[in-house]
Structure 1
Amino acid sequence: MPTTNFSDHSSRRHFIRRLTALSLSPWLPGCESWFAQRIAIAAHAWPGYEFLFLARREKWLDNSLVDLIETTSATESLNALLDGKVDGAALTLDEVLTARASGLPLTVVLVFNISAGADMLLARPYIAKLADLKGQRIGFEQGAVGSLLLHKALDASGLSMAEITAVPLTIDAHFQAWQQQQVDALVTYEPVASRLLREGAIKLFDSRKIPDTIFDVLAFRTDRLGFSRAPAIRHLVLAHLKALEHLTKNPQDAAYRMAPRFKLSPAQVLSTYKGLVIPDRSNNQRLLLGSSPILLNSARKLSAFMYESGKLAHENDLTGLIDASYL
């Protein structure tokens, strides 16, 4: 019969301690701890996602369970999902619907935030109102929330996409494009938006005009959900909620710790959250649970709008969109 060789009694005791710690870990309940599989998550810079990075910095996020990968944009995160390089990603709900329509089944397990002003259309001072966007160069991220907000802003102005010059730009290129005079207006979001407002940009439209439309969520490839990854997913959700609680209870300290990644002062960091509704665990349950979850109803309306505006070839089959069991 094969046996395990231990070099000394010390190594045996260390091995037993590790097994005991795993079995008692609050992050890995029950026998799941024995089969926990590491997960990879993609996320780009956005205030609603920043709690993941704060949790990693403060070691509330176990790197042996979660590989948190920073991307430059939602487009890069989606590509990583499509290529199978990551198991899940931080995305907007419309990005999830777009991916599902293209044949990549995704399931939402957590709502990071609801945008209530943090996504916005900014313009140069010579553009005083939405109607003045006619003929202007407008930068936005294609296939992302930028495209959605631009369509809504143009609807409000009575303009069509054919009456503007669309300039596709991922979020990492927004600030430079503005500085280099490549665009007259820009659909963008925090923390870039605060930097552009300090540069003299004027806000023409924001997500307060389209309430309960822009949700940021944690979505997983549906084929990567299951028993072996469940402990890591639950751990990730708990780490996010712990970091959110830290911001709620100690906002100045949390902002100080977040400031370097935002490239903003702590006071400016806190101001970026004014346009966001960030649900805690109980509010996540309110959004994701029930016979007719709030998020599912919002997704149904959003899917219809995206289909009518030509962003989807067909309305989304929302079966399997939500799994609240990781909360």
Structure 2
Amino acid sequence: MARNIDRRAVLVSAMALGLAATAPGIAARRAFAASPLIVADQSELLRNLFEASGEGERAGLEVEFPNFAGGPAILEAMRAGALDIAYVGDTPPIQARASGTLLPIVATFTRERAEYRLTSRPGLKIERLADLRNKRVSYVEGSGRQVFLIEALNRAGLILDDVERVNLRVADLPDAIRTGAVDVAVLQEPHVTRLVRQVGASPVLDPEERRLLPSTSYIYARPAVLADPAKVEAIKAFLAAFVHAGAWYNANREAWGEHYYTGFQRIAPEDTAAILAAQAPLVFQTSAEAVPHHQRLIDILYQAGSLPERFDAAGSFVDTFDPVIAAER
């Protein structure tokens, strides 16, 4: 049964975990408990998805899901050897590699429509992306919000120096729009709908904003884990169950919303509906399928001066788990 643990406990106990070899295929999945995984979670999303779908129990998974607040904290734990694999957004693997730590991507899941929305403060309407020029814009370096904003500027023929960047924490973004501390912020639901309803904020009206980038997330691994045959089999079992859980999500959106957003996060039903409406179906990709978009993200960040060098996206992936993803999706 999948379970959640305190992050500090992971940091103390991770290196003491025993490793046991398992056979491939179904036998390996049922023997998964012999080689438990420590999987970094965010907002307890993975833990809840495995619980709601029942895939963790069906596959006999033994997984510990320490919860983290963003990519930098996950990278710190990876460097400390406290994690096996991690769920992260689209930018952390790039930032980690740029800092000298290559954490190979073992799986990619994406949505063809971005969940981010460029949202303006009350009293300001942004009709075209070009109207972002000279505006005070939130900037969260090292996050998916960063690359989304850069691409929005690219589409308008602008660069970062054409806006006034205001560095903020993600948690501060809704209040920054509410109070007018910034003109525009990159937000997600339910904050967009909530701020539109409560204070008259407005999503950017340019249709191009909806076509900027897909929402892409990754599972990346600590290299030492990929050298351990038992851990590799455990990751295969985990990813197979994850793909099945993703299929359950696609087919049971309302049940997922009730379980995770309304039940776990205590979000009002109308806000849950706004979140679900903004989410396109999950699509799982092999490494070959995922490389082109990852290269695009690298190029966007490099051209904006946010990376010291441009590197080849293919070097960020391993194809070890492609057969599992292709067979199970």
Give the alignment's TM-score, normalised by structure 1.
0.74
Q: Letter of the aligned partner of 1:264 in structure 2?
A: I
Instruction: Answer whether contact 1:118 1:273 (CA < 8 A) is retained.
Output: no
User: Corresponding residue for 1:146?
Assistant: 145
CA distance in 2, matches of 1:120, 1:27: 44
Q: Is 1:71 aligned to 2:68, yes or no?
A: yes
TM-superposed CA distance for 1:35, in Å, is 5.0
Q: Letter of the aligned partner of 2:28 in structure 1?
A: L
Instruction: Answer whether contact 2:257 2:272 (CA < 8 A) is retained.
Output: yes
CA distance in 1, matches of 2:75, 2:195: 26
Quickly say closer, same or farther: Cα 1:222–1:190, change in 2 above 3 A.
Answer: farther
Q: CA RMSD in A?
A: 3.3
User: Corresponding residue for 1:307?
Assistant: 302
Q: Letter of the aligned partner of 2:235 in structure 1?
A: I
User: Corresponding residue for 1:100?
Assistant: 97
1:288-327 aligned within 5 A: 288=286, 293-317=288-312, 318-319=314-315, 321-325=317-321, 326-327=324-325
Quickly say closer, same or farther: Cα 1:161–1:295, change in 2 above 3 A.
Answer: same
TM-superposed CA distance for 1:131, in Å, is 4.2
TM-superposed CA distance for 1:142, in Å, is 0.8
User: Corresponding residue for 1:203?
Assistant: 203
Quickly say closer, same or farther: Cα 1:265–1:43, change in 2 above 3 A.
Answer: same
Bigger shift: 184-193 or 303-312? 184-193
Instruction: Answer whether contact 1:23 1:33 (CA < 8 A) is retained.
Output: no
Write the deviation string for residues 229-280 of structure 1: whole angstroms up to 9, x where unpaired: 2243234323433333333333332221112344434464354244444445
CA distance in 2, matches of 1:144, 1:324: 27
Instruction: Answer whether contact 2:177 2:201 (CA < 8 A) is retained.
Output: no
User: Corresponding residue for 2:267?
Assistant: 264
Instruction: Answer whether contact 1:99 1:106 (CA < 8 A) is retained.
Output: yes
TM-superposed CA distance for 1:148, in Å, is 0.8
1:114-263 aligned within 5 A: 114-129=111-126, 130-199=129-198, 200-204=200-204, 208-212=210-214, 214-225=215-226, 226-258=228-260, 259-263=262-266
Q: Letter of the aligned partner of 1:138 in structure 2?
A: V
Q: How many residue pairs align between the two structures?
A: 292
| 3-state DSSP of counterpart to 2:28 | coil
TM-superposed CA distance for 1:108, in Å, is 1.9
TM-superposed CA distance for 1:51, in Å, is 4.8
TM-superposed CA distance for 1:153, in Å, is 1.8
Q: Letter of the aligned partner of 1:101 in structure 2?
A: A
CA distance in 1, matches of 2:255, 2:53: 12
Bigger shift: 295-304 or 77-86? 77-86
CA distance in 1, matches of 2:316, 2:137: 36
| 3-state DSSP of counterpart to 2:299 | helix
Structure 2's unaligned 5+ residue stretches are 1-21
Q: Letter of the aligned partner of 1:87 in structure 2?
A: D
| 3-state DSSP of counterpart to 2:117 | strand
Write the deviation string for residues 59-99 of structure 1: whole angstroms up to 9, x where unpaired: 64369722112222334333333443322222233321221
| 3-state DSSP of counterpart to 1:106 | coil
Instruction: Answer whether contact 2:189 2:275 (CA < 8 A) is retained.
Output: yes
Quickly say closer, same or farther: Cα 1:274–1:34, change in 2 above 3 A.
Answer: closer
TM-superposed CA distance for 1:198, in Å, is 3.4
| 3-state DSSP of counterpart to 1:178 | helix
Quickly say closer, same or farther: Cα 1:251–1:154, change in 2 above 3 A.
Answer: closer
User: Corresponding residue for 1:44?
Assistant: 42
| 3-state DSSP of counterpart to 1:41 | strand
CA distance in 2, matches of 1:110, 1:270: 28
TM-superposed CA distance for 1:132, in Å, is 4.1
CA distance in 2, matches of 1:109, 1:278: 20
Instruction: Answer whether contact 1:61 1:235 (CA < 8 A) is retained.
Output: no
Q: Letter of the aligned partner of 1:170 in structure 2?
A: R
Structure 1's unaligned 5+ residue stretches are 1-21
CA distance in 1, matches of 2:209, 2:223: 29
CA distance in 2, matches of 1:79, 1:208: 33
| 3-state DSSP of counterpart to 2:74 | helix
